[in-house]
Amino acid sequence: MILILIIILLVLIYFYATQNYDYWSKRNIKYESPIPFFGNHLQCSLGLKSIVAVSCELYNKYPDEKVVGYFHGRTPELIVRDPDIARLILNVDFAYFYPRGLGRDPKKEPFLKNLFHADGDSWKLLRQRLTPAFTTSKLKNMFPLIVKCAEKLEHMGEEIIARGGECDVRDFMARFTTEFIGACGFGIEMDTINNENSMFRKLGKQMFHRSRRDVFLILLWEIFPELRKMIRIFDKNLEKTLSTIILKIFEQRNFKPSGRNDFVDILLELAAKGKIKGDSLEYRNSNGLPKEVELEIDLQCLMAQVFVFFGAGFETSSSATSFTLHELAYNIDLQQKIQAEIDKVLLKYNNKLCYEAVAEMTLLEMAFKEALRILPPLGNLHRVCAAKYTIPQLGISIDPDVKIIIPIQAIQNDKRYFENPEVFNPERFADDKMNDLHKYIFLPFGEGPRACIGARLGQMQSIAGLAAVLHKFTVEPSEKSVRKIKMNPRLNIVQGVLNGIPLRLKLREK
């Protein structure tokens, strides 16, 4: 009798663990054989490979397919290889794919009420209210903050050279971007550039550190949906520290704009307008028209927006700028051309960085875009099917809750779209050539309604930082440099490097 019960139990566990594993075979879509419980996600779950690395492998393994099936635990996911299908998902048929599906329970982890993680009506109303924060006039008003940070960066470079010139440019640029995001987002000078042990630099590192505990909890959260209400992954101490800092900033301003023209001021202006109202993405009236919904901008919601502005802003920009410097160190002729352009442009503006000068540095911008092509900070875009949808190019239907991966790193390094994709060639992004590119093969900031709201700010700040460095210094490989950077396998949303990016700084000979 006991043996029979054990057999029945094992059979039930097996069926539970393999539920849905015939999903892609029913639709005649190629996929890898899944493992019970883990699906195809075992290496990601154990922190051995990132989902970006896995999606790149599958993308390259099935070169003739428009899509490839994947199982994230027991959840079917679809890796989209075809840019025309990506266009439908990200833009044309956005109403079927508006969720990003990365958030957990915001009641347990309130910082996840931010614009990046929010879904459905919460996302739509937040986006509606926050979009005016990133107009051209707002960006221009923020530029003096960038200039102050760039000046500090130059002093830090001189100190590095005085110590021999060896440096980790990943940390070098992270300290610059943390300083800027701090000034622009928190409204305070964090002194991360001059102080490598700055509390804010430590907080930034902590936000993107994945311990074994984190890996284990994420594994449980992904594989056992039934346990999700009991699991909290966000570090309580980190949340408490950030909450205390943000609340003090709000209190110092009496919860009113201070005239600094930073992100906190913009948030406080928007919060003063009261509840956000708009048409629902999720709910409809009996006549088929969207219901009106509203969202209260409470203190937790404000804090969550500052959190994501700090975290996403400094990490993505420092990743992109440090990789640009890495490539220029190995392409010295190109670096010299960019330096000549920077010198020429700045001469028009009395050798001072300004908004207009950065806009004229076209070759530097092209190099930045080429770095984003080879190694985008977000290697994948994620969406979730919200309603039954038929993919017209394939004639197959997918169900609600099926997840979508658009592997932008794989697409952006596909030789069908970019000749010799492994070669760093900024000329790909010259204006005359950009017109010939399919819009959905270069997606470092996403595309469609959920494209990165801070893309212009991130690009402006990044190019200004690069201009400040290259105007004064030359970067070249050091004894510790490696040509191919090793990525952190534990990070699955924003990519990170292992062991930094060691280079040598030298003062330019002018």
Quick one: which of 474, 501, 482 has its CA closest to 167?
501
Q: What is the pTM of this model?
A: 0.91
Biggest CA pair distance of the chain: 89
C-alpha distances in angstroms, 351 versus 300, 342, 504?
A: 43, 9, 24
- According to the model, what pLDDT value does residue 356 have? 94
pLDDT tens digit sequence for 24-51 = 999 999 999 999 989 999 999 888 999 9
C-alpha distances in angstroms, 165 versus 193, 197, 348?
A: 16, 20, 30
**pLDDT band at residue 292, thresholds of 50, 70 and 90?**
very high
pLDDT tens digit sequence for 137-196 = 888 888 888 888 888 888 899 999 999 999 999 989 988 888 888 777 776 665 555 556
- According to the model, what pLDDT value does residue 267 have? 86
Please tell me which residue, 406 or 258, carries the higher pLDDT value. 406
Query: What whole-number distance in Å separates Cα of residue 494 and Cα of residue 313?
Result: 11
Mean pLDDT of 72-97: 96
Q: Which of the residue ranges 86-90, 102-106, 133-137, 303-307 would you say has the lowest mean pLDDT? A: 102-106
pLDDT over 90 percentage in the chain: 55
Residue pointed to by tokens 């009420």: 113
pLDDT tens digit sequence for 450-462 = 999 989 989 999 9
Please tell me which residue, 207 or 307, carries the higher pLDDT value. 307
Q: Is the model's pLDDT at 9 over the cut of 80?
A: no
Torsions phi, psi for 424 (to 5 deg): -80, 105
- According to the model, what pLDDT value does residue 335 have? 98
DSSP string, 211-271: -HHHHHHHHHHHH-GGGGGG---S-HHHHHHHHHHHHHHHHHTTTS--SS-SHHHHHHHHH
| CB-CB contact of 122 with 295 (8 Å) | yes
**Which SS3 state, helix, strand or coil, does residue 437 take?**
coil
Exposed/middle/buried for 172, CB within 10 Å: 0-12, 13-18, 19+? buried
Q: Is the model's pLDDT at 197 over the cut of 70?
A: no
Quick one: which of 36, 190, 117, 99 has its CA closest to 389?
99
| Residue 45 backbone class (left: φ over 0; alpha: ψ -120 to 50; beta: rest) | alpha
pLDDT over 70 percentage in the chain: 96
452 is in an annotated binding site: yes
pLDDT tens digit sequence for 325-371 = 999 999 999 999 999 999 999 999 999 999 999 999 999 999 999 99
Mean pLDDT of 203-224: 77
pLDDT tens digit sequence for 455-485 = 998 999 999 999 999 999 999 999 999 999 9
| CB-CB contact of 29 with 68 (8 Å) | yes
- According to the model, what pLDDT value does residue 198 have? 66
Torsions phi, psi for 329 (to 5 deg): -65, -30
Query: What whole-number distance in Å separates Cα of residue 275 and Cα of residue 361?
Result: 41
- According to the model, what pLDDT value does residue 195 have? 58
Query: What whole-number distance in Å separates Cα of residue 161 and Cα of residue 167?
Result: 9
DSSP string, 108-128: TSGGGGSTTT--HHHHHHHHH
